[in-house]
Amino acid sequence: MTETLLRWPRELWESLLERLFFLPPFPESIDSLALFSLLLVAGLLLGEWLHRHWGWPKVVGYVLAGILCGPSLLGWISIEALVQARPIADAALGLLMLEVGRRLDLGWWWRSRELLRSTGYDIGLSFLLIFLFSWLLIGLSPAWSAATAAVTMASAPAVVLLTIEEAKGQGQVSERILLHTAVGSAASFFAFTVVLGIVHAEHSNDWLNAAVHPLWVGVGAGLIAIAGAQLALGIAGRLVKGSLAQVFVLVASAMLAVGCARMLAVPVFLTLFLMGVMLAARDRRQSLRYTSLPEGHWLLAIVLFVIVGASLPWQEFGWLSLLQALALLAVRATAKILALLSAGGSLSRHKRLLVGVGIQPLSATAVFMVYELASLYPEVGGPALALPLFAAAIMELLGPVLCRWALRQAGESLEEGKGNIG
Amino acid sequence: MSGFGEFARSQPLSLGVELELQLVSLRNFDLTRGATDLLASLVDDGRCGDIKLEITESMIEISTLPRDSIRDIASDLGGLIDVLQRHCRNNNIGLAGGGTHPFHHWPERRICPGERFDGIYHRYGYLAKQFTVFGQHVHIGCASPNDAIWLTQALGVHVPLFIAFSASSPFVDGVDSFFQSARLNAVSAFPLSGQCPPLEDWRDFIEHISFLQRCGIVSSIKDLYWDVRPKPEFGTVEIRVCDTPLDIVQACALTALAQSLARYLLRTRPALNTALQAHVARYNKFQACRYGFDAMISDPLAGCQRPLKLIAAEMLNTLAEDAAALECLPWLKHLERQVEQGGDAQWLRACREKSGNLNDVVRLATERLYSTRSIAEEGL
């Protein structure tokens, strides 16, 4: 379709090229900056429209714009363009993961028995039930079942963070959704690292890779995170607290960590999440504690979700995989809600249920984890991981709506127009 | 009685204290929504008093039981702060004193659920959200309704003193307001705030309230935000001009001042010229809010101005006998030092100077509220 559209301009250009010697050759691929702005505008328009007319979270619109423009439907975003846009997606995901890591309040989690209990139940039940479902009902091998569980057990940090920010969510449900998401993500990343070794062990006799790859990922991400956090804190400590210069230091350190992770083939989401945790834990002088990411991180987030939407292979999903994915999501939802309800604690049962609903999203990190795992052994990994990928694709659209609904039910979102007098 | 009920019996000079406290996020020390969640999870036997909602979700009010001595008030406040602090830790919320939050953005405040709060929001619009300011109210028991009206008028003259001693709201909207107490500017926007009009006795008060009721201005005494007002259902006079101090020691010291002053006034019954005082009351109040102890207070009887610093020092001296009789003297000594050294507003400005940002100022305020709890309970 794109070829047909471009035929006439190309012919015109080439005829001009014979006379106008200063003209460059006809541009065969779109410039990265132009691509960035197109993705941004497409996501923005749909996100704002859905938000204004139907009250949907904007994230849903961004993902839909990606699906619409991506290779699965209109094909305006080609597979090559997606590869080209990957650094932007990494940067966006990195910044969001950094923020989620920074918001993980380890002190609160550690001193609250009810939170230890509820996050423990959530992690344990989610992994166990998804693993058993994938292994016994779907028939995946134990290694790929574990991979499926590792990828889908946690909530989606980027979606949860953006949905809470968008709704200006404040209160125990919002705080606990964020905490559950951050702790669940940490557990999911740990499981993902271990699963890397298991997958190697199952598909090759190369025990060296099976042992060293998880170490490379885990230790590598940890070291980059420590170095990035120390660098940011070291420089920020010499600047005025909350100043614009500090914001730049934070963003620059994060981008440096993203770059290093990419160079060393270490997952960006894991590295930046750990860096965020380190920044919060080691900031004893409150150097960066009050420094927020610039509003511009929404810009990157829009592009991230458009790319995620576009990268979902909808054409590969069939009716059977739809049913399997829905069943997996039902198992996952049951595990999370059961975990919250059975954990007890000072929060009312109704609000614990809402936390359980609020942590349902499954999104970018899961998709990226799937691609990391599938790339190890593409011929077996691709089909085996179609299940979590399809589940993530469904939850890309449903997850933000559920999270937003939970915040509304809890009375914690600052609704536009609500509270108007008269 | 026009629906205002009888004046309840109470022990003369008995005390009750209400403190409105700030609920802040421990992530950035901005105000946060947490009051209804906190109350929903609260397990308290009420032996020290009550913990209640206030107009917005970022505020919580503690109120002691009626007590005869300042020692019991200190114990109640300590107990209530203890309970609240425990639940706040559970919910990862910080608790702080101070008359205003230094940098919160008022449109983000949420009105608490409930018919009363809803009514206030509909009646006053955005003022209700801007009313996210924090005060200390001191109740003093009165033997009779006529005593209550007389004491209300007599205490009105000393409003600048209470403002200067309690001033703890120098920052508003992220900037230094140059006021020692900027909180009262938020209160003064309400149409029924300000001074109690000159009233002779209880009968005069009832007539005045009935008149306001007939005019459709008030439906209950709660609609009046006077600086000092009678509270018939408690049998008390309520002083409402104080900012919430940064710690309980200061809250107790202000209560001790109120009790000693009330005893002195009721004992000596100085002549009041309420009509003349009414002319200078607003000016004097502004002076105290703006300059604290550096204010110049107009004396309408002598027709001159006097420094509040001098008035405060003289007053503390005058009250020594009554304070000793009420075991309040150590608390008044605590206040005496502040006349020269400055109080909470200076402390907040010093924190800002040292840390260079307001987030740290609130962080230090949360630490201060808790750290002084035991000092207050054990007595100075």
> Is A175 at the interface with chain B, CB within 8 A?
yes
Kindly list the residues from chain B whose CB atom is less than 8 angstroms away from the CB atom of residue A407.
none
Band (B376; pLDDT cuts 50, 70, 90): low
d(CA B61, nearest CA chain A) in Å: 18
pLDDT of residue A300: 81
- Determine contact, residues B204/B214, Cβ cutoff 8 Å: no
d(CA A96, nearest CA chain B) in Å: 17
Strand partners, B304: B299
Q: Is the pLDDT of residue A420 over 60?
A: no
Kindly list the residues from chain B whose CB atom is less than 8 angstroms away from the CB atom of residue A411.
36, 113
Rounded mean pLDDT of B40-56? 89
Kindly list the residues from chain A whose CB atom is less than 8 angstroms away from the CB atom of residue B125.
421
Band (A373; pLDDT cuts 50, 70, 90): confident
Q: Do B26 and A242 touch (CB under 8 A)?
A: no
- Determine contact, residues B217/B108, Cβ cutoff 8 Å: no
| Per-residue pLDDT tens over the stretch A54-84 | 888 888 999 998 888 888 888 878 888 888 8
Report the distance separating Cα B316 and Cα B253, nearest Å: 12
> Is B122 at the interface with chain A, CB within 8 A?
yes
Least confident piece of the model among A318-322, B145-149, B288-292? A318-322
| Per-residue pLDDT tens over the stretch B152-186 | 999 999 999 999 999 999 999 999 999 999 999 99
- Determine contact, residues A156/A181, Cβ cutoff 8 Å: yes
**Over pLDDT 70: what percentage of chain B?**
96
Helix (H, G, I), strand (E, B) or coil at B78: helix
CA angle, B104 then B109 then B113, to 5°: 150
Find the Cα–Cα–Cα–Cα dihedral A346, A349, A352, A353, rounded to 10°. 180
Distance linking the first and last C-alpha atoms of chain B: 44
Q: In whole angstroms, how far apart are CA A132 and each of A321, A391, B40?
A: 17, 16, 38
Residue with tokens 């007098």: A421
pLDDT of residue B378: 61
Residue with tokens 């890591």: A101
Nearest to A47, CA basis, from A56, A37, A36:
A56
Q: In whole angstroms, how far apart are CA A129 and each of A136, A327, A344, B130?
A: 10, 12, 20, 50
Looking at every residue in chain B, the average pLDDT score rounds to 93
Rounded mean pLDDT of B136-164? 97
Strand partners, B23: B95
Q: What are phi and psi of A413, to 5 degrees?
A: -95, 145
Report the distance separating Cα B100 and Cα A295, nearest Å: 27
Nearest to B7, CA basis, from B182, B191, B235:
B235
pLDDT of residue B2: 43
Q: Going by C-beta distance under 8 Å and a sequence separation of 6 or more, which residues neighbour residue B20? A: B54, B59, B60, B61, B133, B134, B135, B136, B244
Query: Looking at this protein, which amino acid is placed at residue B343?
Result: G
Q: Is the pLDDT of residue B343 over 80?
A: yes
Kindly list the residues from chain A whose CB atom is less than 8 angstroms away from the CB atom of residue B34.
170-172
Helices (H), A344-385: 349-358, 364-374, 378-384
| Per-residue pLDDT tens over the stretch A307-346 | 888 888 888 788 888 999 999 999 999 999 999 999 988 8
Q: Do A241 and B32 touch (CB under 8 A)?
A: no
- Determine contact, residues B231/B238, Cβ cutoff 8 Å: yes
Is residue B20 within a helix (H) or strand (E), and if so which, with residue range?
strand B15-25
Residue with tokens 């004396």: B299
Report the distance separating Cα A25 and Cα B356, nearest Å: 56
- Determine contact, residues A95/A293, Cβ cutoff 8 Å: yes
Q: Is the pLDDT of residue B104 over 50?
A: yes
Q: Do B121 and A421 touch (CB under 8 A)?
A: yes
Is residue A79 within a helix (H) or strand (E), and if so which, with residue range?
helix A79-103
Residue with tokens 């576009």: A310
d(CA B357, nearest CA chain A) in Å: 7
pLDDT of residue B375: 62
Q: Is the pLDDT of residue A416 over 50?
A: no
Nearest CA in chain A to B89: A108
Report the distance separating Cα A173 and Cα A179, nearest Å: 10
Report the distance separating Cα A397 and Cα B80, nearest Å: 46
Count of pairs with CB atoms under 8 A, one residue in A, one in B: 65
> Is B320 at the interface with chain A, CB within 8 A?
no
pLDDT of residue A257: 97
Q: Is the pLDDT of residue B268 over 90?
A: yes
Helix (H, G, I), strand (E, B) or coil at A290: coil
- Determine contact, residues B356/B237, Cβ cutoff 8 Å: no
